[in-house]
Amino acid sequence: MIRKTFFINFLVLFCLLSIRCQPSQTEESRSTNSLLLISIDGFMNEYIERNETPNFDRFLTNGVQAEYLIPVFPTKTFPTHFSIVTGLYVENHGIISNRFYDYELDAQFAFGPQNSPNDERWWHGEPIWITAENQGKTATTFFWPGSEASYNGVQPTRWIDYDGSVSNHARIDSVMAWLDPSDEGKVQADFSTLYFSFVDSRGHSYGKYSPEVDDAVLEMDGLLGYLLDQIEKKELSETLNVIIVSDHGMADLSETKLIFLEELINLDDVDILDWTPVSLIRPEEGKVDEVYEALKAAEDNFRVYKKENLPERFHFSNHYRIPEIIVIADVGYTITTRQNFEQRGILAATHGFDNFAPEMRTFFAASGPDFIIGEKVGAIEAIHIYELMAKLLNIEPAPNDGDPKRLRHLLKNE
Ligand code: AMP
Ligand code: ZN
Ligand code: ZN
């Protein structure tokens, strides 16, 4: 009996010591707070300024908000989201638009249920969920452009093929279960994404000042309240950092602001990889100067550049997928053809314009144990968010274009 008690005591002591001395991978990674990265597509600061949004207020009083976030160029969903999670400018990650043709791969990049771009060859760069997985963390994604692809064979522990019909509450429920250390599903994620598209869609269809957008903003506020309640109920407030970000702003369009491209150049001389508000133009061999000169002579309500002369601040020159000529519509203008306009009309509002245009400014706020509380800081650039997330997750970032020091002022004890 004595010997048995001694043996059990010894065993308990041994277990305690071994836990203390040799923490497992999971325990080590658990010593850092977990991180939830939320994207609300096409969300603008003015949306919460002109609406009563008690749950955004609740989030902001407990955290930090940027005056505005400057996205990367072009301000379209796929390029901007992929820059947020890689810290790479578009010329370095290669997702040059939402849809484009790659002449080397001889393939079309497009999103949608039939052709979800889960092919590794499109995505150049290492998203934060891969950096995390490669360093022993558990990463999950509930939608994010680039999250369906593998990177050198690595994928997040949980990821979902994009399906816009999945309810927003279901997205939140899944992610909260994954992030819950006591959840029976045992995912115990250190990092997750969440993505909501409906505010952007309303903006495109009805315009950014529409009551339909205001309704969507109130719906988003309700969803945020639901999420914050779950964080409290699961007692994750002390261990979970939450970043809410958007990918770009929105600008209203007008039927009086049209650029008919066929009236400026001969469309038979060019391939157009993407149309509006940034036209990516690939002239036939030997026709670059002719096409450029024609556009330059007509430069009104748009800017035209040869790829090599695009101002450095766009960071949109140095990738083989970017064609020779780039036309950027002035904010509010649509590049189209007369026939296309007559058949399909135009959207009420869109994005894609110059990333430094005030209309493309967007939303950033964060809250949690590592963030300063109740402050508003100046404008920040989306390119630095990857470095911030690597710091929060206590992992070594992959090479990127962000500056590790630029967002440190958002953190406590820095
Ligand atoms: P945009 O056309 O630039 O406004 O893009 C917004 C749209 O992108 C949303 O309405 C979604 O339908 C779509 N989207 C966002 N993320 C994904 C994804 N991971 N896969 C496929 N489509 C997506
Ligand atoms: Zn978007
Ligand atoms: Zn959009």
How wide is the angle at C-alpha 372 spanned by C-alphas 23 and 193, nearest 5°?
Answer: 60
Q: Can you give the pLDDT at residue 1?
A: 38
How wide is the angle at C-alpha 294 spanned by C-alphas 290 and 296, nearest 5°?
Answer: 115
Q: E strand or H helix at 202, and its extent?
A: helix 198-206
The answer to whether residue 5 sits within a structural domain is no
Q: Which atom of ligand 1 is nearest to the CA of 200?
A: 4
Residues 167 and 235 in one domain: yes
User: Which of 127, 146, 126, 130 lies closest to 138, judged by CA?
Assistant: 130
Give distance in angstroms: CA of 120 to centre of ligand 1: 18
Residues 35 and 134 in one domain: yes
Give distance in angstroms: CA of 246 to centre of ligand 2: 8
Residues 92 and 147 in one domain: yes
Domain count, the chain: 2
Q: What is the pLDDT along the chain (414 residues), one digit of tens a residue?
A: 344 444 334 333 333 333 333 333 444 445 799 999 999 999 999 999 999 999 999 999 999 999 999 999 999 999 999 999 999 999 999 999 999 999 999 988 987 655 556 778 899 999 999 999 999 999 999 999 999 999 999 999 999 999 999 999 999 999 999 999 887 668 999 999 999 999 999 999 999 999 999 999 999 999 999 999 999 999 999 999 999 999 999 999 999 999 999 999 999 999 999 999 999 999 999 999 999 999 999 999 999 999 999 999 999 999 999 999 999 999 999 999 999 999 999 999 999 999 999 999 999 999 999 999 988 999 999 999 999 999 999 999 999 999 999 999 999 987
Pocket of ligand 1 (CB under 6 A): 41, 76-77, 98, 111, 116, 143, 145, 162, 164, 197, 200-201
User: Which of 123, 133, 139, 96 lies closest to 326, judged by CA?
Assistant: 96
Catalytic (active-site) positions: 77
Other C-beta atoms closer than 10 Å to the C-beta of 225 total 16
The answer to whether residue 38 sits within a structural domain is yes
Q: Can you give the pLDDT at residue 217?
A: 98
Residues 371 and 391 in one domain: yes
**Domain termination site, one of 304, 325, 346:** 346
Alpha-carbon gap, residue 242 to 55, rounded angstroms: 14
Q: Can you give the pLDDT at residue 183?
A: 74
Residues 290 and 145 in one domain: no
The answer to whether residue 205 sits within a structural domain is yes
* Closest residue CA from atom 19 of ligand 1: 145
* Domain harbouring 105, CATH code: 3.40.720.10
Range of the domain at 296: 258-346
Residues 156 and 273 in one domain: no
Q: Which atom of ligand 1 is nearest to the CA of 352?
A: 3
Q: Can you give the pLDDT at residue 118?
A: 73
Residues 31 and 66 in one domain: yes
Residues 241 and 193 in one domain: yes
Tell me if 321 sits within 8 A of 94, measured CB to CB: yes
* Closest residue CA from atom 20 of ligand 1: 162
Give distance in angstroms: CA of 226 to centre of ligand 2: 23
Q: Can you give the pLDDT at residue 20?
A: 33
The answer to whether residue 20 sits within a structural domain is no
The answer to whether residue 161 sits within a structural domain is yes
pTM for this model (two decimals)? 0.92
Residues 197 and 160 in one domain: yes
Q: Can you give the pLDDT at residue 181?
A: 87
* Domain harbouring 341, CATH code: 3.30.1360.180
Q: Which amino acid is at 122?
A: W
User: Which of 183, 296, 187 lies closest to 230, judged by CA?
Assistant: 183
Residues 295 and 166 in one domain: no
Residue 304 β-bridge partners? 327
* Closest residue CA from atom 15 of ligand 1: 145
How would DSSP label each residue in 348-375? SEE--S-TTSGGG-B-EEEESTTB-SSE
Give distance in angstroms: CA of 147 to centre of ligand 1: 12
Residue 263 DSSP class: G
Residues 181 and 281 in one domain: no
Q: Which atom of ligand 1 is nearest to the CA of 111?
A: 21
**Domain termination site, one of 291, 318, 346:** 346
Residues 106 and 79 in one domain: yes
The answer to whether residue 165 sits within a structural domain is yes
